[in-house]
Amino acid sequence: MTTDQMILFGLFAAVFALLIWGRFRYDLVAFGALLAGVVLGVVPTDMAFSGFGHPATIVVALVLIVSAGLVRSGAVFLITRTMVDSSRRLGTHIALMGGIGAVLSAFMNNVAALALLMPVDIQTARKADRPPGLSLMPLSFATILGGMATLIGTPPNIIIASIRQQSLGESFSMFDFAPVGGIAALAGLVFVALIGWRLIPDRGKTYATAADLQQYIAELTVPDDSDLIGKRVGELDSEAEKSDVAILGLIRDGRRRYGRSANAMLREGDSLVIDATPDALDEFRSALNLAFSDRDREKKLTADAEGLEVVEAVVPDDALIAGRTAMGIGLAWRQSSVLLGISRKGTRINEQVRRTEIQPGDILLLLCPKGRAPDVIDWLGCLPLAQRGLNVTANDKTWLSIGIFGAAVAAASFGLLYLPIALGIVVTAYVLTRILPVTEIYEHVEWPVIVLLGSMIPLGAALEDSGGTQLIAYALTDLTAGMPAWVILTVLMVVTMTLSDVLNNTATAIVAAPVGIQMAKTLDVSPDPFLMAVAVAASSAFLTPIGHKNNTLILGPGGYRFGDYWRMGLPLEILVIAVSIPSILIFWPL
C-alpha cells in the first residue's frame, strides 16, 4: 500500500467517523477533509474544487430548482389531488408513492423521478401533520430500486452495457436487466413499505408553529370563463376538504349573502369567503382555477411583475391602515398590492376583505410584487411575521411546466441530451416562461448538500487515481479462489455495494465491471452473471447520503443525519443480495 493510499483511507475513515458522530456539520467535515487532502498532497491543487463543477453536483442543484418550479406551477398539487390522500396510513402511503416512484424510475432517470415526487411527498406529510423524514427516505430508496429494472433507469446499467459492448462485442438490451433488477426492486419495495420505514429514527413529532396554524378569512373570485359557473357552492365541499379549507359563504354584487349559500348557483364575479391557512388557500385556488379578490389588480401584477409573493404582517396600534380599509388607503393603486386575507382572533368577518376596517392586532395576508414586500409592509406601518416561504402557484402554467419537464427527461432518457444539460434547459425555460422567478432560483438550492458533494467527489477521484479502489477490487480474486460460484458473486456484490456507498455509483461501476469480467475469465465461466451482480450492487447505495444523488437530495428536506441511512439501508442491502444471487444463477447461469 502506497503512502497516498494510506493517507486517503485515513481521511475517509476520519470523515465517516465524524459524520456518524454528528457533532459537526456534514458540509464542514467534508470541506475540511478536502482541504486536508490538498495540504497532504493526495488531492492535486488544480483538482481541489473540481467537485463543485462535477455533473453529479450540478444535477443535484438543478433538480432542487426544477422541483420548486413544479411546485410553483401547480404540477405537484395536480399529482397530490389525483394520486395521494393524506388520510391514508403511513405504510399505505409509502407503498403507493414507492410504487409510483419505482415505475417512473424504470423509464426515466431516477433522480428526475425523485425530483417530481419529492415535493408531493413533502406536501402530503405537511397535510398529515407528520415529519417528512418518515417517508422521504423510503421514497428515495424506491426510486433507486426502480432504476435497476431497465437499461436507462440508472447510469450504472448504461455503463455496464457499454463495457460489455467493448469487451464482448455485444451490449445488453433495454430489458435484459429486468429479471434480476426487477425482482430485487420488487423485494426491496415490499420491505420498504412493510418494515423499512419503521427503522427510521424517530426525531419526535413536529408540531406546526403558531404562524403555520394561522387561519385567514379570505376571498377567491370566480373568473369569467370558469368551469364552476352554474355549479352549487356545496358541490365544492369535497375539493375544499382535500385542500383543508372551509367555505364560509358567498359575496355577490358586493354583498355578503346570508349563511353559507350552499345551494346558490355560482356566477362569474362571485367571491367565495374562505377560512384557511395561506398554503391551503393557495392550493384550493390552484385546484379550482379561482382568482384573487381583486381580479383587475391581479392581472396587472401578473403582467408587469417578475414574480409575486405572499407575506404576512401584524397591525400595531399606530399603523397607517389601523381603523381604515385596504380600499380606503389605496393599497392596490398606491402599492400595487392586494389584501388576500385577514386573521382576527374570535371575530367573524362578514364584509368584503378589502372593505373591512382593519383593527390593531389583525394579521394581514398580502400579495405583493416580488421584492417589494418590505416596502409595502413599512408603508402600511405594520410589522412583518417571520418569513415562511409562501408562494403563489401559477396554476395557469401547470401543463406547460409538466410538458417542459417531461420533454427534457425523455430527451435525456433516450440519449438525445446529457441529463445536466436537459435539466439546465428546464430551469431556463421555467424562468423565461415566468413559472419560477429568476430571483428565487438560488433560494431553493440546499447549499450544505452542494458543499458536501463538491468536497467528497475529488476525494473519491483521488482514491480511484491512487489505485486504492483497484487495490480493494483485485484482492477479491485471491480472496475467493476455489470458492463456490454463489459465494464469489456474494463477495463481489458486497464489495461493490461498499464502494458505491462511498464513491459515486458511476465510478463504482466503471471500476467493478472490468473486475467482474476478469474474475469470470479466471474461473472460465460466462461474465454476464458477474456483470449483473455489479449492476445491481453499484445501484444499491443505501448506507450513506453520498452514495447516490437521490439520498443526497433528501438529506436537507428530510432532516436526516449522516448515520440515519444505514438503519434501513443495511437490511435492505442484505435483502437485495439475498434475492439477487439466486435470480442471477437462474436467469444468467454460469
Q: What is the CA radius of gyration of the chain?
A: 27
Q: Is the torsion defined by CA of 270, 123, 96, 178 positive or negative?
A: positive
Whose grid coordinates read 385567514?
216
Q: Do residues 518 and 577 share a domain?
A: yes
- Comparing 526 with 287, the larger pLDDT belongs to 526
pLDDT in tens, 273-294: 888 877 778 778 878 888 876 6
Which of the given ranges, 246-260, 304-318, 355-369, 442-456, has the highest pLDDT on average?
355-369
Q: Do residues 256 and 323 share a domain?
A: no
pLDDT surpasses 70 at 305: no
- Comparing 300 with 60, the larger pLDDT belongs to 60
Q: Do residues 583 and 466 share a domain?
A: yes
**pLDDT band at residue 146 using 50, 70 and 90 as cut-offs:** very high
Q: Do residues 348 and 316 share a domain?
A: yes
Strand-pair category, 271-276 with 216-221: antiparallel
Q: Do residues 361 and 331 share a domain?
A: yes
Angstrom distance (rounded) from CA 160 to CA 204: 43
Q: Do residues 244 and 329 share a domain?
A: no
266 occurs within a structural domain? yes
**pLDDT band at residue 481 using 50, 70 and 90 as cut-offs:** confident
Q: Do residues 470 and 561 share a domain?
A: yes
Query: pLDDT exceeding 70 applies to what percent of the chain?
Result: 89
Q: What is the DSSP string of 494-528?
A: HHHHHHHHHS-HHHHHHHHHHHHHHHHHHHTS-SH
**pLDDT band at residue 269 using 50, 70 and 90 as cut-offs:** confident
240 occurs within a structural domain? yes
Q: Do residues 485 and 569 share a domain?
A: yes
Please count the CA atoms within 13 angstroms of the CA of 174 that sit on its side-chain side: 5
Q: What mean pLDDT value characterizes the chain?
A: 82
Residue from 48, 99, 120 nearest 283 by CA: 120
Helix H or strand E encompassing 369: strand 363-369
CA distances from 411 to 159, 418, 426 (A): 18, 8, 12
Whose grid coordinates read 486504492?
468
C-alpha cell at 175: 430489458
Q: Within the chain, what is the greatest distance between any pair of CA atoms?
A: 90
Q: Are 195 and 570 in contact (CB under 8 A)?
A: no
Q: Are 455 and 26 in contact (CB under 8 A)?
A: no
Which of the given ranges, 280-289, 369-378, 398-407, 515-524, has the highest pLDDT on average?
398-407
CA distances from 267 to 3, 197, 218, 229, 250 (A): 79, 48, 18, 5, 11
Angstrom distance (rounded) from CA 279 to CA 390: 7
Q: What is the pLDDT of residue 387?
A: 56
| Final residue before a domain boundary, out of 387, 421, 441 | 387
Contacting residues for 71 by C-beta, under 8 A, at least 6 apart: 119, 123, 391, 393
415 occurs within a structural domain? no
pLDDT in tens, 79-89: 656 666 767 88
Q: Are 70 and 393 in contact (CB under 8 A)?
A: no
68 occurs within a structural domain? no
Angstrom distance (rounded) from CA 58 to CA 488: 37
255 occurs within a structural domain? yes
237 occurs within a structural domain? yes
Q: Are 352 and 342 in contact (CB under 8 A)?
A: no
Q: Are 526 and 588 in contact (CB under 8 A)?
A: yes
Please count the CA atoms within 13 angstroms of the CA of 7 that sit on its side-chain side: 16
259 occurs within a structural domain? yes
Query: What is the total count of domains within the chain?
Result: 3
Angstrom distance (rounded) from CA 12 to CA 555: 20
pLDDT in tens, 161-183: 878 887 788 888 778 899 999 99
Q: Do residues 251 and 223 share a domain?
A: yes
- Comparing 581 with 51, the larger pLDDT belongs to 581
Angstrom distance (rounded) from CA 286 to CA 76: 11
| Final residue before a domain boundary, out of 387, 407, 423 | 387
Domain that holds residue 232: 213-292
Q: Do residues 478 and 549 share a domain?
A: yes
pLDDT surpasses 90 at 581: yes
Angstrom distance (rounded) from CA 396 to CA 462: 49
Type of residue numbered 401: S
**Dihedral pair phi/psi, residue 210, rounded to 5°:** -60, -35
Secondary structure (3-state) at 2 = coil
Q: What is the DSSP string of 203-268?
A: --PPPPPTTTT--EEEEEE--TT-TTTTSBGGGGHHHHHHHT-EEEEEEETTEEPSS--TTPBP-T
Q: What is the pLDDT of residue 121?
A: 85
Nearest 5°: the CA angle 510, 513, 517 is: 145
pLDDT surpasses 70 at 403: yes
Q: What is the DSSP string of 103-156?
A: HHHHHS-HHHHHHHHHHHHHHHHHHHTS-THHHHHHHHHHHHHHGGGSTTSSHH
Q: Do residues 330 and 287 share a domain?
A: no
Secondary structure (3-state) at 275 = strand
Contacting residues for 39 by C-beta, under 8 A, at least 6 apart: none
Residue from 134, 190, 202, 177 nearest 572 by CA: 190
pLDDT surpasses 70 at 542: yes
Averaged pLDDT, 337-354: 75
Type of residue numbered 70: L
C-alpha cell at 559: 432532516
Q: What is the pLDDT of residue 84?
A: 67
| Final residue before a domain boundary, out of 261, 292, 323 | 292
- Comparing 392 with 427, the larger pLDDT belongs to 427
Angstrom distance (rounded) from CA 443 to CA 439: 8
202 occurs within a structural domain? no
pLDDT in tens, 194-250: 999 999 887 654 433 334 446 778 888 888 888 899 999 889 988 887 777 888 888
Q: Do residues 277 and 333 share a domain?
A: no
Residue from 276, 252, 245, 248 nearest 266 by CA: 252
Helix H or strand E encompassing 331: helix 331-335
CATH number at residue 281: 3.30.70.1450
**pLDDT band at residue 126 using 50, 70 and 90 as cut-offs:** confident
